[in-house]
Structure 1
Amino acid sequence: MKFKYGLEDKPPIFQLIAFGLQWLAITVPIIIIVGKIVAGISGGSSEEQILYLQRLFFVVGVSQLVQILFGHRMPLIVGPATVLLVAIGASQGFGQSVIDTSIVISGLILALLAATGLFARLRQLFTPRVVATILILIAFTLTPMILNLITSTFGTISPFENLVFSLLLLLGIFAANKLLAPGFWKSTLLLWVIILGSIIYLLIFGEHFYIGEDTKIIAGFFHSLSFDFSVNPGVLLSFLICFLALSVNDLGSIQSVGAMLHTDHMEKRVTRGITLTGLLNVGAGLFGVVGTVNFSLSPGVIASTGVASRFTLVPTALGLMILAFLPKAIAFMGSIPSVIIGTTMIYIMCSQIAAGLMTAFHAQEGFAFEDGLVMGLSLMLSILISFLPQDVLITFPLFLRPVLGNGFVVGVISVLIMDHIIFRKK
């Protein structure tokens, strides 16, 4: 494929800004969606949730800039890792300091594995059916959280009304995805879904955006930073397994763009990229926000624009950091109804499942009945654990609850046992 601007080309300043704004329009909805979910899980006042989003915008912006200048040095979107939502949701009740510490330690371990070359040995665990299962597990184990977002009520709005609205909006999203030609509009579909969906929802149900009166926190998220080191072995193990999945996502994203652009020195780019992903997650933990990862949707954007220059993401990174210091703008974006967030998450997770199925069925050795058994048990166990009632979970030993009570962790452990021990291919 021939590109208008290659990897190391620098477009004229106005074109550079225009392309950067396009990347920004794609990145912002993802940050808002994941950030709102995590901020909602941890609770807190509306001002604290705005503060969380400010920190997340800043961390993602810095991560983006560092990766394109010093890491993999390719046009790859960086965003909050959805897989870590699973560990964060399963670790509630153990304290924010335990979660932050687990992200810091897990990020540091990932960075050390990548920098020392040990990560290459771990890659042997990631067979096609393991990777496929992990991709699908992320979607399935987030289902309870998505369901809560869709059915949560405000005022006189009933869960049934929210559910009907969500289903109709979903049909509209998939119809738009089918009808839109590849390009700017399709690449920024999530942005328009959030904007138009929120407007329609507010018109139907009479809701209104709320922007806090006191948002005098333009630089406050620096001054209010604090970190308390606190380790819980069960929570840490849960995060380590989620970081295993995060590394799979990171590796796949870097390699997919590298293959598309026929980039040289890919081994070095992979090593630098994953090492920095680990270190940037350490920074995310110190800032008290969810960690970051390279996103796999970048090749579609590059193909639709014909622009492969990594420098087009510099304005994107700077724009994210500027938004972090605009609490009024963050408050406005953060006031999106939860049903819209939940519905867009369903769409994102459907893409995740599609990627998993493609990985499974396009494997070189084909897809056999045993492959279905390996994946099937892991998926069934993860669903059962994810939907366990709270009164059952509290009967688990406290130190095992973050592991055995986490559907994703149970699913990953079971697929590794099934793939590498019970149904090991000779």
Structure 2
Amino acid sequence: MPSSGSDQYLYGLDDHPPLGLTLLYALQWAMIIFPAYVITAKIAAQALHLAGPTEALFLQITLVCSGFGTLVQTLWGHRYPLVEGPATAHLLTFVSLSPLGMDVIQGASATAAASLALAATTGVMKYVVRLFTPNVVGVILILIAFSLLPHLIPSLLGLDARHTEPSVAVLSVTLALVVLMAILGQHLKGVWKTCNLALGLVVGTVLFSFFDRVNWNAPLTASWLSLPQPWVPFAPRWHGGAFVAFLMTYLAIAVNSIGSLQSMEAVTRPAQADTALRRGLVVNGLCGVVCGFFGVVGTVSYSTGPGVVLASRVASRFPLAWCGALVIVAAFVPKLVAVLTLVPSAVVASALCVAMAGQVGAGLAVIGARRTLASRDYFVVGIPVLLGTLLAFLPSSFIVSMSGTVRIFLGNGLIFGILIVLLLEHVVFGKKSKERAT
């Protein structure tokens, strides 16, 4: 029965809707979030030069890990209606470290994720979080978007394994798709408003089928049922520099999760804030260990939850648990996975541009929220964003020429930007510096 404590929602946080409605709500969540899974898996697969069955297998494992994370978070972790999925911050580090080998990625990612879980369990994380002021959080959100741009440009130009020359026609269509998805996100009503990316992916795939850029044979030849197998063996190798890079990445993931939880608490149950945060970060870390084991991108709590909850008036967390189960089941249906991987990389890049544009706006809002910026803030924010973006656009040939440890930090604009903003915010322009200035 619906909760009687509030007329705001049809079903409150701990209410159990009838099974039929629960499954319907779960399917709705899955349709909304599937594009994000496809997008991040596609970008990672491109960086690893995967194709065909291996790319489909990579997406299968991604679905299993994301569905598992959603199921555990909603029933045991933070216990809020938030979907878990591949983190863009983790994707950037994953891609930048791919030249070092999957064994390095597995070892560094899993140990960094375990560190997050340990910090959250012991209470250390609450002291670390204090370092993440609005300036630091805003810079991280903006840099995640800007650092991803170099990985999107080839796709926006239509470059892939079969097409080695840039295409003006492809670029024109991808830019039009960006505008279309943004317009749909602004003008659609209700739950449809949250489906703008999914609609854009469908429209883009249909359009690009006329450019001979959709492989229709993959769904036809894929089997209906199979057990997902690890796409790489588990053979982790320790690398100190890679561990530090992933540790910084998981700090960014923690900030992202905290923001998502705070947004959901504001529209549901703020009284559980401290417990939800601790349990949520522990599960984030444990899921990251699992993702590291399987060699896929680590997960984070997505921030789309509050919008969907307010639009649908259903705040129950149990449809999310069923959504996680549906995502896991989908991973065992290769034909469905093959259909999802039909989406051309150019269309994926367009959708990601729209999502990252919203993230840039969120970063700016965090920086300027409820305060007047001082002159120091312009440098604390501007320098990391500028330098981090600059490093993200360095030629790959130059990055490869660097030594391994140097490459990890100068070849990853996000990690470098996080280090610089922390240094500027708390040391160079920190409290003591302000006191001396006065």
Instruction: Give TM-score, length-normalised by structure 1.
Output: 0.95
Cα distance between partner residues in 1 of 2:230 and 2:197: 33
- Structure 1: which 4+ aligned runs deviate by more than 6 Å? none
Q: 2:141 aligns with which of 118, 132, 135?
A: 135
Q: Secondary structure at the match of 2:128?
A: helix
In the other structure, the counterpart of 2:180 is 172
8 Å CA contact 1:210–1:335 kept in 2: the answer is no
2:169 to 152, 161, 171: 161
Q: Tell me the distance in 2 between the aligned counterparts of 1:97 and 1:216.
A: 30
Whole-Å Cα distance in 1 between the matches of residues 314 and 429 of structure 2? 44
Shift of 1:163: 1.0
The separation in 2 between residues aligned to 1:330 and 1:20, in whole angstroms, is 18
- Residue 93 of structure 1 aligns with an amino acid whose one-letter code is P
Q: Equivalent of 1:2, from 5, 8, 14?
A: 8
- Cα distance change, pair 206–102 in 1 and its aligned pair in 2 (3 A): closer
Q: Which residue of 2 aligns with 1:418?
A: 424
Shift of 1:223: 6.6
Aligned twin of 1:144: 150
| Whole-angstrom CA distance in 2 between matches of 1:406 and 1:50 | 27
Please say if 1:397 is aligned against 2:393. Answer: no
Give ranges in structure 2 of 5+ residues lacking alignment: 1-6
Q: Identity percentage over the alignment?
A: 32
Whole-angstrom CA distance in 1 between matches of 2:416 and 2:210: 43
Selected match of 1:354 from 356, 361, 384: 361
Aligned length: 424
Partner of 1:62: 68
Quote how far apart the aligned CAs of 1:236 are.
Answer: 1.6
Report the counterpart of residue 298 of structure 2 in structure 1. Answer: 291
Distance 2:164 2:398 in 1: 31
- Distance in 2 (alpha carbons) for counterparts of 1:171 and 1:416: 35
Residue matched to 1:46: 52
Q: Structure 1 residues 330-339 or 157-166, which shifts more?
A: 157-166
Cα deviation, residue 217, structure 1: 9.1
More deviation in 6-15 or 172-181?
A: 172-181
RMSD (Å), alpha carbons: 1.8
Structure 1 portions without partners, runs of 5+: none
Alpha-carbon distance between aligned partners in 2 of 1:322 and 1:8, rounded to the nearest angstrom: 24
- 1:102 maps onto 2:102 in alignment: no
In the alignment, the residues of structure 2 paired with residue 133 and residue 165 of structure 1 have an alpha-carbon distance, to the nearest angstrom, of 31
Q: Which residue of 1 aligns with 2:196?
A: 189
Determine the structure 2 residue equivalent to 1:380: 386
- In the alignment, is the contact (CA less than 8 A) between 2:110 and 2:291 conserved in 1? yes
Q: Which residue of 1 aligns with 2:28?
A: 22
Match of 2:98, SS state, is: coil
Give the C-alpha shift of residue 76 in structure 1. Answer: 0.7
Aligned match of 1:92? 98
Q: For residues 3 and 217 of structure 1, do their structure 2 counterparts lie closer, same or farther at Cα, with a shift above 3 Å needed?
A: closer
Deviations 1:346-402 (A, max 9, x none): 00100110110110111x432233211111100111111111112322342222211
Are 2:71 and 2:322, in contact at CA under 8 Å, matched by a contact in 1? no
SS of residue paired to 2:228: helix
TM-score (norm 2): 0.93
Could you tell me how far apart the structure 2 residues matched to 1:207 and 1:267 are?
Answer: 47
Distance 2:230 2:150 in 1: 35
